[in-house]
Amino acid sequence: MVASRRGSGSIVLPSGHTMAFHTRTHEEEDLPHATKKTMADHLRKYESLFTLTPQRMRMIVEAFKDTLELGLQKPGQVVPMIPTFVFGYPTGQEQGDFLALDLGGTNLRVCLVTLQGEGKFEMLQTKYRLTEDQKQDEGQKLFDFCAECLKTFIDNNYVDDDGKSTLKEGEKLPLGFTFSYPCSQDRIDHGELIRWTKGFGAKNTEGKDVAQMFMKSLEKHNVPVTMTALINDTTGTLIASHYVNPRTKIAVIFGTGCNAAYMENVRDIEKIKNLGIDDDAQMGINCEWGAFDSFEHEHLPRTKYDIIVDETSNKPGEQAFEKLISGRYLGEILRLVICELIDEGVLFLGQNTYKLETPYVFETAFLSLMESDPTDELLMIIGIFTHFFAVETTLAERQFFRALAMLIGKRAARLSACGIAAIVSKMGYIDEGCLVGADGSLYNKYPGFADRVHEGLVDVFGRKAETSSPTTPRMVVVSGALSLLLSTSQLDDVPRPIRGMLQITKITRSPESQTIPENRMFVWRQARKEAIACGGGDYPIVLVEYRLREDMGTMTTTVPIPLPMLQIVRERKPFECVSAIRGKFEKPMTESNIIEMLNMTIRQDKRGVLKVQVPLDESDIEIIQRWAQADENSPGSMRRLHEKTKREDIYMAVMISDPTSVRTIRFNPDLDYWTGNAFFIPFQTQVTFWLFGGENIVLNGGGALDGAGQAWYDAFASNSSLLRPIILTVFQAENVLIEDISFINSPEWNNMVNEAKNVVYSNITIHAESTSDNRIANTDGWNTYRSDNVVIKDSNIVNGDEISRYLSRVLGQFPGVFDIVQNVTAVNIRMVNAGNGARIKAWAGPNVGSGIVQNITFQNFVVDNVDSPLTIDQCYETAADLCAEFPSNTFIQDIFFNNISGTASGSVVASLACSPDERCSDINVNELDLSAQSGAATFSCENVHLEGDSANLFPADCN
């Protein structure tokens, strides 16, 4: 039982589910809640605590200026004012291709940036989310992860149309490393970590040269790069912003942490006078201002909640400024206020509040959602508190929570303005004017943050900053990932990767034969067959592998599809063999000719499965089929075949990959039985054949789940209200792995993930096909509901519907319901003859619900004859004029469509349509290679700003 402050708790039911109970102190029917008057009284108290007056801001600015000056004069200061050895600004005319790695507070980004001159650039990037374990584990492991991600990026992008690497033998790419943490530097490719910030605590790293640690990881993983520059992300933003607009003089980062950089005159950097650098030069200064007012705490207006945040952090006393303004801490400040009001008996009386008692469980993203809630009833806030914390709220309480979020967010923005004002005042920029380059999730995504910073600057500088004249410091958003490129612009151009259809590129020897598990193969002795077939799907495909004697070698070749490895095992002198894989191949069997021959044999059948053709004659096929149906002692068994053929010289291994004949669970198509016995799921009024929950679950085995959907398709054609079962539902489970399973002919969705966390699907095959005139419907691959961290990878879909709607039919559909889909990844997916591919959709209009779709990645999709390969529809089932009047209350953020290729059945290959009023943000499109089956391909978009290297495929007003 989990005890609560309010005399509440929870019990675990025999089913494994958790049920909360509440101990009330009175006999009223409704739970007791704070009144509107009570909340208004409390709000006045917090207004006085979190409001920052102009007079106090000016005092902070003066103290900030003194601290900056001290950091320039003496080494080892609280705000270290680190010289970066980046001299001067770019001209804006630099050109070339550059490789970059950006280690931030939340994500790792690998980027290829093309500088085009005249302040223009293009960027291809891949983003990886960092786990809390990675942030706290051994530092060398963190750099190992960085090296692995970088190697994957290079392997996937630096290839030509034939899949061959574009890098020459022994060639190494110059790399710039953007490292977002304070380092002392005496040269551009060196950096000793002073201290971790942003909640990082990776061991055995502080005080060490992180450049050397990273280079050690590069060598360990054989990554073909040379690190030529280590640069702070804020310095990078300064350089990159100036490249785009030469009036940029300052750069700031407001994200998980906070920082600033600017160009200082070398003559005013007293602590490096001994280096003999020209006094007339300018050098970039990495302020590391998050440490302002640390240890002594003399200048910043800290509340008791700020003190608790500081004292319970992994760096007590340090990073005082950062802990008041950065995205890592704002949610925790609000949570502490809520907990205090719970303890005082003001909030959530009689409700179980234990979920709110975990530090940092209230994310800063929640404050952003609360402030941007567009509904009169504040449905977004209802959803946050009911879904994440299982507590009910009144309208008065929700209004209080939003007002409190505004106070905390506004204080952070006004304190941020103090830091900017200190640099502007110190450098005398207020009279001549300047731009401030800004980046970071807080600045980019928190509603009103930029405007509040500007308001703060007006309050500090008075009339000089009242107008929107060019003299007013303003923000210009430029990606910090561009940073290092200009610090390495003197290097030779990096070869650009050439992308195209992958093909077989090389043949290598391995020390021993690849094997197939005994329960999936039989040994069939046959003389001198030199071919194999490889494929996948839900119908028989033959996989043949030569298994030779110990004194013979093994050759392995990969197929250009995410299917099983193509295994070739040949005789001792394989390159001298003259027989053919496909008919007669007259060329000598050199390695290059074998590659050419294999690529000639690759084809795609009408169901979209890529195979290598095999010249098996009728007698061969007859023997294979006979064995597939035989037991050991039957006439077609292995022993009897051996006796019959009497061929002992060489042999092959054959696998029949037909999931309907190997470990298949078939759900009886007894519609009457399932109508009364399937598990009911309230969400979308669904039912399911199989439902399981719990923790640490693995479901695998290589077999199939057959939904026997034909009977359901036929019945549904005449009864559209028929509840058709989902094959498999993961319900309120955590840490689940489902792998090597085939789903066949599901009556409804194939998979449902309901209120689950950390669920991985790997190597899943889905096929649905109707054998009558009644078409299949709604056989989605996956749907998720209020689930977190769902990964779908290495899977194949031959289907008449989409791989995953991600609640697209439901998001924001029902009034009063808050829908959540976050941290979902679908990677290495192949789809054939489907209705929709990577798709997100949400309702708009009056009387609908609300929700959030956040951090969704679709990566490495191959589509063939798919109706709508790429879709966002945020006005689902809503007329354009009604959507304009009532935009969707379901916000869509941080969406990545990466490496999506193939063909659409129609002309529209991508349609990204969002609601008006900025309901979509951070939508990224990279490496799109989509075409129509006939005619020109159409890329359409509406009410969305697209980022990524494929944004130029869409109309210009979306770029």
What pLDDT was estimated at residue 243?
Answer: 81
Q: Which of 4, 109, 189, 195 is catalytic?
A: 195
> Which of 144, 189, 233, 293 does the annotation list as catalytic?
233
Concerning whether 468 is annotated as a catalytic residue, the answer is no
Number of neighbouring beta carbons within 10 Å of residue 113? 26
Burial class (CB in 10 A: 0-12, 13-18, 19+), 535: buried
Crossing angle, helix 330-343 and helix 364-372, to 10 degrees?
80
| Buried-state track 120-146, b at ≥16 Cβ within 10 A, e below 16 | ebebbbbbbebeeebbeeebbebbbbb
Report the predicted TM-score, pTM, of the whole model to 2 decimal places. Answer: 0.63
The whole-number pLDDT of residue 883 equals: 92
Q: What is the pLDDT of residue 52?
A: 95
Burial grade of 469 (CB within 10 A; 0-12, 13-18, 19 or more): exposed
- How high is the pLDDT of residue 362? 95
Q: Which of 4, 8, 10, 180 is catalytic?
A: 180
Q: What is the pLDDT of residue 657?
A: 32
- Walk along the chain (959 residues) in steps of 10 and give the mean pLDDT of each run: 40 44 39 70 93 96 96 93 85 78 83 78 73 87 91 82 80 86 82 85 91 92 88 83 85 90 94 88 92 94 96 92 95 96 90 92 91 84 86 92 96 96 92 84 87 92 55 34 37 26 27 30 23 26 26 25 23 25 37 44 33 37 41 37 32 29 75 88 85 86 86 93 94 90 92 90 88 86 85 78 42 79 84 84 88 87 89 91 91 89 92 91 88 91 87 87
195 is catalytic: yes
Residue 833: DSSP 8-state? S
According to the model, what pLDDT value does residue 126 have? Answer: 75
Closest by alpha carbon to 366, among 383, 384, 354, 340? 384
**What's residue 77's pLDDT?**
94
Please say if 180 is a catalytic residue: yes
Q: Smallest Cα–Cα separation from 508: which of 595, 580, 614, 395?
A: 595
Indicate the SS3 state at residue 671: helix
Q: Which long-range contacts (CB under 8 A, 24 or more apart) does 47-56 make?
A: 47/407, 49/303, 50/303, 50/407, 50/408, 50/410, 50/411, 51/407, 51/411, 52/301, 52/411, 52/414, 52/415, 52/456, 54/459, 54/460, 56/301
**The pLDDT of residue 654:** 26
